């Protein structure tokens, strides 16, 4: 299934962005952070199951991704609701993630067609994603150590990753100049 024909791509990305906002609100101890994350996890799980159901050709990797997403969202919901014994979900998440990474990750690096399609803007966005992820990790770890600038670092990482996720929702349309001789329009 090509990237342009994926079902529910935008609502899933918006749900992930809402989840990131909820995580940021949780760290900043804002009210309703748990509720925001609960709604985002629920929406992600439901939307991905609908996406899987509408897919015509289902391969083994699709089932692995379904298991990964469903157990991850269920684990998130159970952790927010303070249910015990979520370790079972975490083990299933770890096994399915490793399976997905071995199957999909190696295919990405071995696919010559995919490497040729990367433009400069895609490379820059991928670098921004890596930096944002590192900022989230470092901000989280430094928050534990009570570092003064941990929260701005974490918030910056959330903003970068959120921008990466939402970058395709609001695409810039190229400006087409209909007036060939570059004259100004007058009223």
pLDDT digits (tens, 9 = 90+) for 125-182: 888 889 999 999 999 899 889 898 999 999 999 999 888 888 877 766 554 444 445 4
Task: Answer whether 0.75 is exceeded by the pTM.
Answer: no
Lowest mean pLDDT among 8-22, 54-68, 112-126: 112-126
Mean pLDDT to the nearest integer, 42-50: 95
Mean pLDDT to the nearest integer, 97-102: 89
For the chain, give percent helix, strand, coil, nearest 5: 75, 0, 25
More confident residue, 22 or 112: 22
pLDDT band at 187 (very low <50, low <70, confident <90, very high): very low
Mean pLDDT to the nearest integer, 57-68: 93
Please spell the DSSP secondary structure of 114-172, one letter per residue. Answer: HHHT--HHHHHHHHHHHHHHHHHHHHHHHHHTT-TTHHHHHHHHHHHHHHHHHTTTSPP
Residue with tokens 């930096």: 131
Distance in angstroms (rounded) separating the CA atoms of residues 152 and 134: 13
pLDDT band at 119 (very low <50, low <70, confident <90, very high): confident
122 Cβ contact list (under 8 Å, min separation 6): none
């Amino acid at each position: 299934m090509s990237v342009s024909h994926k079902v529910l791509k935008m609502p899933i990305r918006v749900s992930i962005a809402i989840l990131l906002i909820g995580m940021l609100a949780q760290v900043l101890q804002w009210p309703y952070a748990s509720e925001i994350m609960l709604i985002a996890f629920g929406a992600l799980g439901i939307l991905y199951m609908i996406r899987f159901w509408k897919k015509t050709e289902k391969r083994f990797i699709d089932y692995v991704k379904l298991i990964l997403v469903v157990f991850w969202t269920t684990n998130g919901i159970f952790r927010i609701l303070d249910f015990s014994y979520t370790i079972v979900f975490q083990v299933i998440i770890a096994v399915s993630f490793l399976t997905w990474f071995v199957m999909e990750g190696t295919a990405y690096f071995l696919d010559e067609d995919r490497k040729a399609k990367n433009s400069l803007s895609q490379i820059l966005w991928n670098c921004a994603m890596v930096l944002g992820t590192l900022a989230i990790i470092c901000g989280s770890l430094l928050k534990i150590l009570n570092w003064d600038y941990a929260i701005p670092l974490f918030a910056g990482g959330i903003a970068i990753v959120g921008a990466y996720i939402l970058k395709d929702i609001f695409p810039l349309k190229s400006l087409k100049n209909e007036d060939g001789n570059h004259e100004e329009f007058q009223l």
